[in-house]
Amino acid sequence: MFARTTRSLRTVSVSTLRARLLSTLTIAEHSNATLNAGTLSAISAARQLGPGPINVLVAGAEADVTSIASQIAQVDGLTKVITVANTAYAKGLPENLAALVAAEVKANSYTHVVASGSAFGRNLLPRVGALLDVQPISDITQVVNESTFVRPIYAGNAIATVHSTDPIKLVTIRASAFAAVELAGASTTIEASTNDPNVPKSSEWISEEITKSERPDLGTAKKVVSGGRGLKDKANFEAVMYPLADALGAAIGASRAAVDAGFCDNSLQVGQTGKVVAPELYLSVGISGAIQHLAGMKDSKTIAAINKDGDAPIFEVADVGLVADLFEAVPELTSKIKA
Amino acid sequence: MSVKSLRILVPVKRVIDYAIKPRVNKTQTGVETTGVKFSINPFCDIAVEEAIRIREGTKGLVENIHVVSAGPTKAQDILRQALAKGADNSTLIETGDKEVEPLSVAKLLQKVIEEDNSNLVILGKQAIDDDSGQTGQILAGLLNWPQATNASKVEFKDDKVFVTREIDGGSETVSASLPMIITTDLRLNEPRYVTLPNIMKAKKKPLKKVKPADLNIDIASRLETIKVEEPAKREAGIKVGTVDELIEKLKASGSL
């Protein structure tokens, strides 16, 4: 009788302990042998979930995995860097990766999985949700507690606080809302995983076309100059915006109108359906400021706008606005910054 | 082509019109919907257009285009619109006014796909209300089908589908065999307008109504919305008259 009571007590305490113990798997994103900066913001968000081990999963071709894992191992406060070297994961195909992540979660009973809300994370995590029967939470901007998160909805026109009742929380994070952790100091254990499910390939990676640029990456740049329909054509866009960006050391962004009109590459679009940025300075040139565009930049620290229409909605969010013809004002600005 | 026929399913969602600025309701439970204009989600419109273009471009390969919506009774308006554009038949899964989460929507769609024997599902990459961007990927996971999200180009070659995807920094091309899931990006196409004669014809096309219970799917939410708030307002800015003043102000704010 006494023995049975003790045993049941022990069972209770162990299960309570297990329920409380939080453990997080962060998915590392990398491409072309480079660690994606969003991963460092994802680790930052993982730290905010509460006390508990934080492991980072690095999957890909062997050479990439070795170099990416050794970089991540320098991040302070991680428990383990888990590697899976298999060419099936080299190009981040979600069909293979989701099965791997789900197998890792099941084998190690993670309570949380965190990934950057980039094209990669958004492609992958919902598929993992299907495999684990969990409703994922997209693009969070704040961690309230281990099961409660804040995320923008309606193109950032409303901010929702949601509480997940799922036993596992699958979260993608908005990188601009979480300061990146530093790659320095630590030497976390790197361990190869034995949980590779090796699912057969159902899709094939064919090719990629990456816009080459010497300028800072749009998603993480401290300064962004962004051009819109007011630039009129591609030649103007290049003649006006490129020197300004170079004078400031800024990344180039664009409105949907500019992208649709072919002034620059699609991947430079800032907004609800493009990139969401929050730089120190966002300088908008010839952009009216439609709600879909504002969704992608209104959390910037300082917003400046140059537009000849004094009634443009962009001036409602701009800290400093200059009502002027951009073809005169921008070259003047560029030369005065350089001076 | 080893594929003899395409049976395309296009899920569509009724959302607050993209041009309207949503307002948070007084009780902070959601956004104000009374008296607000609703439309088809823009990405779903692109998905419908793509299905029709595949029919036009593959000469007899497309056997059926089925549009499905999960939502309130009023969602039949967007189904009629899709029928007027060229879809063959439609189904409304009546879920009432409550927002249904992507996981539940995907489970409902899975049932329809199994019943329909669909081999290609084209969805929008995200709904502009909840901005989740999940349903296509969850559905692909449930079905264990390949997925190509954020498509800007879809091509059929031999027995494969080649999809160019918009990714951070550029684009990439992936290929897969049917059955598969494709989600649409803005750049995929420009949706056509519906013409009046086609609207009249669409009234005769099938619109079937089912309930989640008929499909044996529990649509209970996994996420509980605690509150919905207005975003923080930015402080009113100033307008300056010259480039020099602009530079001065930016220097003063520490951003130059």
Closest residue in B to A311 (Cα–Cα):
B239
CA distance B96 to B74: 9
* Pair of tokens at residue B184: 């649409």
Percent of the residues in chain A that have a pLDDT greater than 70, as a whole number: 94
Report CB contact under 8 Å: B174, A206: yes
Nearest residue to B151 via CA among A203, A157, A27, A89: A203
A8 or B23, greater pLDDT: B23
- Report the residue from A93, A204, A291 with minimal CB separation from B21: A291
Query: In this structure, are A40 and A179 located in the same domain?
Result: yes
Instruction: Report phi then psi at B185, rounded to 5.
Output: -100, 170
Report yes or no: B145 at the A interface, CB cutoff 8 Å. Answer: yes
CATH of the domain at A68: 3.40.50.620
Cβ neighbors of B252 (< 8 A, separation 6 or more) are: none
Q: How many whole angstroms separate alpha carbon A111 and alpha carbon A20?
A: 10
Q: Do A322 and B228 touch (CB under 8 A)?
A: no
Among candidate residues B19, B207, B44, B56, the one with its CA nearest the CA of residue B133: B44
Give the range among A96-105, A208-217, B181-190 with minimum mean pLDDT: A208-217
Residue B138 near residue A161, CB atoms below 8 Å: no
Q: Are residues A243 and A297 in the same domain?
A: yes
- Cβ contacts (< 8 Å) between A265 and chain B: which residues? 170
At residue A212, the pLDDT reads 84
The answer to whether A84 is a known ligand-binding residue is no
pLDDT for A13 beyond 80: no
pLDDT at B113 over 90: yes
One-character DSSP codes across B135-167: HHHHHHHHHT--EEEEEEEEEEETTEEEEEEEE
Residue A9, pLDDT above cutoff 70 = no
Q: What is the pLDDT of residue A14?
A: 46
Q: How far apart are CA B67 and CA B8, in angstroms?
A: 9
Give the residue on B whose Cα is nearest the Cα of A223. B255
What are the tokens at B17? Answer: 């019109």
Assess whether A117 and A254 both reside in one domain.
no
Where does the pLDDT of residue B159 fall: very low under 50, low under 70, confident under 90, or very high at 90 and above?
A: confident
How far is the C-alpha of B104 from the C-alpha of B220, rounded, in Å?
8
Reported as a pLDDT band with limits 50, 70 and 90, residue B4 is confident
Segment A125-150 shows an average pLDDT of: 98
> Tokens 């900066």 — which residue?
A37
Asked if residue A10 is part of any domain, the answer here is no
Q: Are residues A33 and A162 in the same domain?
A: yes
d(CA B138, CA A269): 26
pLDDT of A1: 41
Confidence of residue A20 (pLDDT cuts 50, 70, 90): low
Residues A45, A180: one domain?
yes
Give a yes or no: residue A118 inside a domain: yes
Identify the pLDDT of residue B90: 98
A156 and A271 within one domain: no
Structural contact between residues A56 and A64, judged by C-beta atoms closer than 8 angstroms:
no
Domains in chain B: ranges and CATH: 6-231 (3.40.50.620)
Looking at the structure of chain A, the number of domains it has is 2
Q: Which residues contact A92 (CB under 8 A, 6 or more apart)?
A: A29, A31, A60, A120, A123, A124
The region of weakest confidence among A110-114, A170-174, A275-279, B2-6 is B2-6
CB contact under 8 A, A319 and B147: no
Task: Say if residue A51 is in the same domain as residue A108.
Answer: yes
Question: What pLDDT score does A21 carry?
Answer: 86
Prediction pTM value: 0.94
A266 in the same domain as A178? no
Considering only the beta carbons, identify the residue of A127, A205, A292 that sits closest to B172: A205
**Which residue range forms the structural domain that includes residue A36?**
19-192
Q: What is the mean pLDDT of chain B?
A: 96
Share of chain B above pLDDT 70, in %: 99
Bridge partners of A205, per DSSP, are B174
Q: Are residues A32 and A173 in the same domain?
A: yes
A6 has a pLDDT exceeding 60: no
Distance CA B227, CA B28 (A): 6
**Is residue B166 within 8 Å of B183, Cβ to Cβ?**
no
Q: Say if residue A46 is in the same domain as residue A93.
A: yes
pLDDT digits (tens, 9 = 90+) for A281-338: 999 999 999 999 999 999 999 999 999 999 999 999 999 999 999 999 999 999 999 9
- Confidence band of A17 (pLDDT split at 50, 70, 90): very low
* pLDDT for residue B101 is more than 80: yes
- Restricting to B residues 182-201, those with a Cβ less than 8 Å away from any Cβ of A are 185-187
- Read off the pLDDT of each residue in B186-208 and give the average, rounded to a whole number: 96
Tokens 């919902």 belong to residue: A126
- Quickly state the pLDDT bin for B2 (edges 50, 70, 90): low
Are A36 and A67 in contact by the 8 Å Cβ rule? The answer is no
Residues A237 and A313 in one domain: yes
The answer to the question of residue A150 being in a domain is yes
Confidence of residue A5 (pLDDT cuts 50, 70, 90): very low
Q: Would A201 be classed as within a structural domain?
A: no
Q: Quickly count: other Cβ atoms within 10 Å of residue B44's Cβ.
A: 29
Report whether pLDDT(A83) > 90.
yes
Beta bridge partners of A270: A275
The share of chain B scoring above pLDDT 90, in percent, equals 95
Query: Which residue bears the tokens 């056997």?
Result: B63
A234 found inside a domain: yes
Q: What is the mean pLDDT of chain A?
A: 93
Q: Looking at the domain assignment, is residue A212 inside a domain?
A: no
A255 within some domain: yes
Q: Is the pLDDT of residue B1 over 70?
A: no
- pLDDT score of A16 more than 60: no
> Taking 90 as the threshold, does the pLDDT of residue A18 lie above it?
no
pLDDT digits (tens, 9 = 90+) for A208-251: 999 888 999 998 899 999 999 999 999 999 999 999 999 999 99
Q: Which residues contact A34 (CB under 8 A, 6 or more apart)?
A: none
C-alpha closest to that of A79 among A17, A23, A145: A23
Rounded average pLDDT over B204-233: 97
